[in-house]
Amino acid sequence: SILGVPVAFFFEDAPGQEPVAGRGFAEDASMAFAVEFCGSPEGLQLNRAFVKIADAKVRRRIIDLVKSLSTDDPD
């Protein structure tokens, strides 16, 4: 502390703000789930294979297929 005061000194009278709940950059629960899934072994394997599909129409059909197979479709 070059000025001889702690950093908090400069923010003592600053307007307050409620702390942001959640993880990371305040992502919602669905975003947190997506981040966790993409980091899982299955998520990594699925993503690596998916990005190798050159045809956008095929990628779209795969997304539609996965949605139809899921038990909880958010759309």
Q: Where are the domains of the chain?
A: 22-75
Query: Helix, strand, or coil here: 30?
Result: helix
Give the model's pLDDT for residue 18. 56
Give the separation between CA 12 and CA 16, rounded to whole angstroms. Answer: 9
Give me the average pLDDT of each 10-residue run along the chain (75 residues).
Answer: 69 62 59 82 90 94 92 63
6: which 2 tokens? 């702690």
52: which 2 tokens? 């190798």
> Does the global pTM surpass 0.75?
no
